[in-house]
Structures are given as C-alpha cells and as structure tokens.
Amino acid sequence: MITFFDKHICNYLDNESGYDESDVKLIKEKYKTEITDDLSKGHITTNIGLVAGSILEENPRNLAENIKSYLISLSEVDKIEVAGPGFLNIFLERSYFANVIDDSLELGQDFGSSLNGDGKKIQIEFVSANPTGPLHVGHGRGAAFGDAIGKILQASGYLVSKEYYINDAGRQIDILTVSVMLRLYECFNDKEFPNSGYKGKYIIDIAKELKSEKKLSNEEIKRITTDLPNDPEEEIDFLIKEFKTKDSVLWSKTKQKSLKVVLKSIKEDLKDFKVEFDEWYFESSLGSLEEEDSKISSAIHELQDKELAYKKNGALWLKTNHVGDDKDRVLVREDGRATYFASDVAYHKHKIDRGFDKLINVWGSDHHGYIKRIEASLEGLGFSKEKLFVQLVQFANLFQGGKRLKMSTRSGSFYTLKDLIKEIGVDAARFYYLSKQADQHLDFDIDLAKSENKENLIFYIQYAHARISSIQGKYNSKNESLPKTHLSIVEGSYLACDQLIHESSKFPGVVQRAADTLQPHLIVFYLRDLAQLLHSFYNDHPILKESKENQASIIRSLSLVQLVISNGLNLLGIKALDKM
C-alpha cells in the first residue's frame, strides 16, 4: 500500500505540481507515507503537505488540498481528510483494504521482505569473544543481536556476511596457554592458583589431554613457581615467559590444543544458539611486522607514507587526537611488538578491501572509546569513516531467584550461554536478549522467562500463534479446508477484524525501520502489540458461533495475523509454535 501511494504522490510531484525540479527532489527526500496508528485517522497518512509547505514557503494545508484533489480520483481511495498542518489521512476503498489479506497470504514467508537494500554488501562482525573459555551469558546478547540484524538486513534486500574475529595472537591466548600448563604440572591448588590465570574446569580437562607431553622436571617447575612477583599481572607475565622459554615445543602444542578445544566449544554453543557465521577470521592471518608483505605491515606502511603515523620515544604512534580521541595511540611498542590496535587497523582495512559497502561492528559498551581510533585509521587509509557503524551492546545482567549471577571467565565460576540454553531454551533466551534496545542495560530474569503467563512476553506471543492454530484446527474439523475468501470483510458487513488487518499491514514498515535503525527490539514491541490485539479479539468474539460467511472472514484474518507473528519471530531467529 505504501509503495502504491508513494508512486502516485511522486507522479503528482513530477508531472502535475508545477514545482521546480530541485524542490521536487527535496520534497521526495523528506516526506513520509505510513500506515496510520489508528483507523479513526484512515488507513494511510502522509506529511506531504507539511513538507512541501516548508520547502516552498507556502500554506501547507493548501498544498495538501491540491494533492488530495489528485489522489481522490484513484479507485482505491474512499475519502481523504486534510489534518493538522498539512497531513493527508487516506481512507481506502473497502475491497482494496481487504486485499491486504490476499496479497499478504500469497507472499507467505516473503511478507515483510523488500528489496530496499538493493543488493549492497554489508559485513556484520559480532561476538568475537576471546577464545579463552566458554561463552557466558554476557556474550549471548551480542550474539542474538548480530544474528537478528543479519536476518533483518537480508530480508530488506542486502547481501549480508556475518563474521567472527578470532583473537588468536594476543596476550590472552598466552594466559590461556600458561593456565593449562600450570594445571598440567599441577603447580598450584585452587586457592593458590594465579589470580590472572583462567580457572575453569575446562582448563583442567585440556591439561589432562596433554598429560603424556610433560617434559620439565619437578625441580624446574619448583624453580619457576617459587618467589613469584606479588603483582598478579607481573606474576602471570613471568610465568608465560618462563614456560615459553623452558619448553617451546610443549608451549606451542598446548597453545594449539587449547585454542582448538575452546574454539570448538564456542562454535558448538553458537550453533546451539542458532547463530551461524559465514567467516571465522583469525587475527594471526594478518601476519607479523617481520613480514613486509603481511596485511599488518602494509596497513602501517601506508599510514606512515601518508604521515599519519610518527615515531616518539621509540614507539610508532597514530594521529587520532585530531578526530576526537583524547590522545594519539600506539601502533608499535618500543620493543617492536605490534599493539592490539595495529591488528585492528589492519583487520578493518582488509574488511573494506574485500568490497563491503558497509561495516557493522557489534561491540560491548566498554569499547566506546575505541570507535574514534578506528575511524581515524580508516580515514587515514583513504576510506570514509561513514562506511563503519558501531553498535554498542550493554552486557546483560542475569537474575535467578532474585540474585544476580556471575559472568567472569577468569574466575571459573560463571553462568555460561550453554547453561542458559539448557535452563530456558534457545528461543526464550534469544527473545529476551532482543527485548530491549541494545545500548540499554538489560536485566534478564530467568524465572520470568520460564513462566507461563502474559507477563512473559515470549509465552504471550507464542500463545497467540498457537491459539490461532487451534482455532484453525477446530474450523477444519467442520470444513474441508481453510477458507479462501473473506466476503463479509470485502462487502463491509463484518468490521470486527479491521483492526487486526490494519495492524498486520504495518509489518513491512516495522521490518524496514528495524533495518534502517538496526533495532530488532522494534519487531519485539510490534509482535507484543499484535498478540495483545489477537487475545483481546479472541476474548470478545465467539468465533465459531458466527455465521459461516463471518467465520470464513475471521479465519482468513487470523491466518494473516499468524503469518505476521511467524515471520516476525523468524527474523529474530525464533520458531513459532503451533502448540503450547
């Protein structure tokens, strides 16, 4: 419907209005056509008069009246009202309004989809948790968000690639490795184990698989672990250096084994969470500074050639202060080692080199200060910073029995994503992660997510879908098949379903707004309102006691609502239920 009226409005602007071409272009960019909030205001509303009046500096209501005179001749229009400062509220002819049911049901799973993205290539990088342990519930929110955004953008006509960046070349991997080796040689009991090491049971399990590889003597181990520095970070760095030096072969084997085991666990958890990636990108594939033709060397050389990187106190710095960062940032340390930032610069350059039109990074809120640095590096490399969009995701606080649950990977005592899936199921977990704007704090109540009442939104929405399936089943038990027509709605003799049809017709617009703003919670809110409307209708109308003609119209309308709920949940990565 929106496309139909936009086409005629644009035809008026181009061929009937007499406006200057530049004004027409500006009006087209700024005006909007939408489904009305309420049927009392018609079915379609547009602010075309208001926008045109502002640009042309003329009376907006007079301009709206002119456009009304043009649109009223359309057979699809019943009447048009000029409202407020230049709005047009369009009331549809009855049969055209009723066609929403036929058109939507015919589209089926494609209802709500569009080609608005025009095939543009978008890369979404999300989760990208350090491969140092199982995913915890804090990671789940970013996983649900990134995956949902991918589905919504694909449904909106974009070519989407989902990527996980594996930090396999940094200090955290060294800490993982030394943690396993400390368990392998049984250096400390649980109480004495280094505070900066990883302490989960998975560390012990990995160590057991390497038991036959032990080579260092008890005396050597005792010497390494005696008189350690008091500072926790200095302590772990000392242990890393010692084990790496004393047995480089075992260190390499332990590192590879640990990374393989943890990464396998992460991939399995994400698959169980219904999150799949197109690319698993290893940081190590960027190469090293010692390799002249490596990706990281190429990126840094390019910044130096453009005089955006400079040397100071033996280190190499990138100029980021001039673009809003609080200071310039180190790319290469005094000892010649590249920083994490240098790897990120090279990684983002390679993203754009792969031909993506837009990059979306889903980061934890603690990365807020990092955005300006990456933008500065992109601009320094000759790219527009507009190519990059960073969505910050607040970590979720998980509550059970009124108590907040731990999420620290290093402590070894935390609630994993696997635990959450086992406790409440994949769909409930995904739904509640997506139930609030990503950059707002989320308190996730497990007890609420398991409850079976209207306070539990996922239950409430799923129940609406299942309730319709039940009604369809009862109808089918007395008829050969579901109805194909809805004459009483077309003829206007039965109006009780109008609000259900009208609300369902908003779905494509909701999907588009979710794609434009990268806010999947808009679909959650919409499905909540649609479910509420369905349950109210069910409670107020004895459906199977209506006349045969009215029953057919009601079932057709409910089938439309059911389709919208199913398609909406599918965009969130959730399967609609036929039975509860």
Is residue 167 assigned to a domain?
yes
Do 509 and 463 share a structural domain?
yes
> Using one digit for the tens of pLDDT, what is the confidence trace for 89-121?
999 999 999 999 999 999 999 999 999 999 999
Do 55 and 196 share a structural domain?
no
8 A C-beta contact, residue 428 and residue 574: no
3 state SS of 227: coil
Is residue 56 assigned to a domain?
yes
Domain boundary among 417, 441, 465: 441
Do 193 and 150 share a structural domain?
no
Q: Domain count of the chain?
A: 4
Lookup: tokens for 467: 């309730």
- The pairing of strands 33-35 and 44-46 is antiparallel
Do 283 and 225 share a structural domain?
no
Do 64 and 21 share a structural domain?
yes
> Using one digit for the tens of pLDDT, what is the confidence trace for 163-185?
999 999 889 999 999 999 999 99
Is residue 450 assigned to a domain?
no
Question: Is residue 406 pLDDT above 90, yes or no?
Answer: no
Beta bridge partners of 361: 125, 390
Higher pLDDT, 486 or 408: 486
8 A C-beta contact, residue 323 and residue 352: no
Is residue 446 assigned to a domain?
no
Is residue 335 assigned to a domain?
yes
Q: Quote the domain boundaries for residue 554.
A: 457-571
Do 383 and 289 share a structural domain?
yes
CATH code, 481: 1.10.730.10
8 A C-beta contact, residue 8 and residue 74: yes
Do 389 and 405 share a structural domain?
no
Identify the band that residue 407 occupies on the pLDDT scale cut at 50, 70 and 90. low
Do 256 and 188 share a structural domain?
yes
What share of the chain in percent tops pLDDT 70?
99
Question: Is residue 356 pLDDT above 90, yes or no?
Answer: yes
Is residue 485 assigned to a domain?
yes
Q: What is the mean pLDDT of residues 408-414?
A: 57
Strand order in the sheet with 33-35: 33-35, 44-46, 87-92, 77-83
CATH code, 363: 3.40.50.620
Tell me the residue type at 187: C
Do 171 and 80 share a structural domain?
no
Do 139 and 41 share a structural domain?
no
Do 286 and 230 share a structural domain?
no
Length of the chain (residues): 580
Is residue 258 assigned to a domain?
yes
Is residue 578 assigned to a domain?
no
Higher pLDDT, 265 or 369: 265
> Using one digit for the tens of pLDDT, what is the confidence trace for 212-237?
988 899 999 999 999 999 999 999 99
Do 350 and 478 share a structural domain?
no
Rounded alpha-carbon distances, angstroms, from residue 287 to 169, 291, 349, 382, 459? 10, 7, 14, 22, 49
